[in-house]
Amino acid sequence: MAAHYAALTTFPCFEDIAALEVKELIGAKATAAAAGIVVFKVPDLAGLCRLCFLSQSANDVFLFRQKPVAAAVTTEVLGQSLRINPFGLGKREYEVFGNNGGVSGNLAYLLLRAAGYDGRQFIFDPFTRSGAVAIEAALFSSGFPVNHYRRDALSSAFSRLRQFKGFGFGKLFAAAEEAAALARKRLKGSRPKILSSSQSMQGVRFAEKNARIAGVNKLIRFSRLDIGWLDAKLDEHSVELVVSYPPQFRSSNDSFAAAENSKLKKLCRDFFYQADFFMKKNGSIVFLLKGRVNEGGSEATAFVASGVDKGGSEATATAFVASGVDKGGSAATAFVASGVDKGGSAATALIAAAADFRFKPVSLRKLNIGGEGFEIVSFTKL
C-alpha cells in the first residue's frame, strides 16, 4: 500500500506541539516545514480522517499529490494541495457564548500544551471568559473527540473525495468513540480536576453553557470566585497548574485607561498573594499576555513584577534579572528596563507591595496573533 504525504497547519510558533499531537494521535513523525506548518507521512488515509476528528491543534489538514520537499512547503504549495477538512478545524462548535476578547479553542489547547499540561494535573483557569481553556483541557484529558458532533459532516465530505472512495468511515469513528467513552467512564467517578472560574457570574455561566455544548461539562467544576478570596475556596498547595488569558492592560493614555490599569495592577498583586497559598511547590502559573501596552512597557510586565518577591527594591529586581531567565531577554528584563508607565519603576512599587511569596518568571515563547504581539510567560513557585 502506497504511503501518503500530508500537512497540518496550526498557529505559528507551535509547530512542535502540533508535531507531538500528530505523533500521539496517529503515530506519524511530523516535521516543521514553515511557520505554522508540519508535514508527515501516513501509511493510509485513515490517519488523516482520525486527525480531522480528534486534532485540537489543527487549523487545516492537507493531502499532497506527490512527495513534498519539507523545506519547500509553503502556504502557496498548500494552496495547490487538497484540503480534506470541510470546515476550519480551529473553529469550535462550542464557541457560542462569551468569546469576545477571549482565545479560540485551538489556541487554548496550544497554550495548555505549552504550559506542560499532560491531562493528569489539577488545573485552574481563574480568569475564564468562554471556558475555552477548561473545555480544551477536558477534551484532551478525557480523549473525547473535539469534532464528536460534526462527524457526519466529516464523513459526508470525505465520501465525496475520490481518494476516499469505498472507505469505511463508520468503523473508524466508532473506534474513536469507543475509546472516548472508556476515557469518560474512567473520569466519571472522580472529582473534576479542572476548575474554571471568573469574578463575573456571567463569565461562569458562559463557560458552563459552552462546556455543555462541547459535551464535557461534567468533567469541569465551575465557580464564581473573587481573586481576593481564592484562599477561602481552594485548599492549601492544591493547584498544580494555572493556565489563563487574564484581563489585558489598556494601551491608551486617557484617564479611564489609567484607572483601569491601576485596578489591574492591584489584581496582579492580589492574585500572586493568593497563589502563594494555593499553588503546589514547583507548580506553574502560565499566562498568555499581550506584548506592548504603551511607550513604557508590556502587558507581561505587571504580572512578572507582581510575582517576583516580597519587600524588594530596584536592586532586588535588577539582581533577579541579572541571574538570567533566558539569553533572548525576558518579560522581567523588559519590565525593569522600562517600567509599565512613564512614571518610572513600576517594578519597584509592585515588588514592594507583594506579600510573602516568590515566583520565578520564564518567557516560554513569543508569538504574533492577528498582527498583535503576545508572550506566554510561566511563573514557577520556588
User: Would you list the domain boundaries of the chain?
Assistant: 4-91+146-183, 105-144+186-381
For residue 52, give the nearest of 168, 136, 162, 172 by alpha carbon. 172
Question: Quick one: pLDDT at residue 194?
Answer: 95
SS3 category, 298: strand
CATH number of 105-144+186-381: 3.40.50.150
- Grid cell of 332 as nine digits: 522581567
| pLDDT of amino acid 154 | 84
Kindly report the three-state secondary structure assignment for every residue of 84-123. Answer: CCCCCCCCCCCCCCCCCCCCCHHHHHHHHHHCCCCCCCCE
- Picking from 150, 373, 154, the residue whose alpha carbon sits closest to that of residue 248 is 373
Note the pTM of the prediction, 2 decimals.
0.83
pLDDT tens per residue, the chain (382 residues)? 578 899 999 999 999 999 999 999 999 999 998 889 999 998 888 888 889 989 999 999 999 988 887 767 888 888 888 899 999 999 999 999 877 778 899 999 999 999 999 999 999 999 998 999 999 999 999 888 899 888 888 888 887 888 777 676 676 677 777 777 777 776 666 678 999 999 999 989 999 999 999 989 989 999 999 998 998 889 999 999 999 998 877 766 777 777 877 787 888 888 888 998 999 988 899 989 886 433 345 555 556 655 554 444 434 444 444 343 444 444 444 433 333 333 332 333 333 333 346 777 888 999 988 888 888 988 887 6
Provide the pLDDT for residue 357.
64
| 3-state class (DSSP) for residue 75 | helix
Q: Are 6 and 82 in contact (CB under 8 A)?
A: no
Q: Which fold is adopted by the domain 4-91+146-183?
A: Alpha-Beta Plaits (3.30.70)
How far apart CA 49 and CA 311 sit, in angstroms, is: 56
Q: Which three cell numbers stand for residue 326?
A: 533566558
Contact 307, 330 (CB under 8 A): no
Q: What is the pLDDT of residue 142?
A: 87
| Whole-number Cα distances in Å, 116 to 17, 47, 109, 131, 286 | 10, 25, 11, 19, 9
| CA–centroid distance for 173 within its chain | 27
Exposure pattern of 157-181 as b/e (b: 16+ CB <10 Å)? bbeeeeebeebebeebbeebeeebe
Beta strands 372-381 and 279-290 are: antiparallel
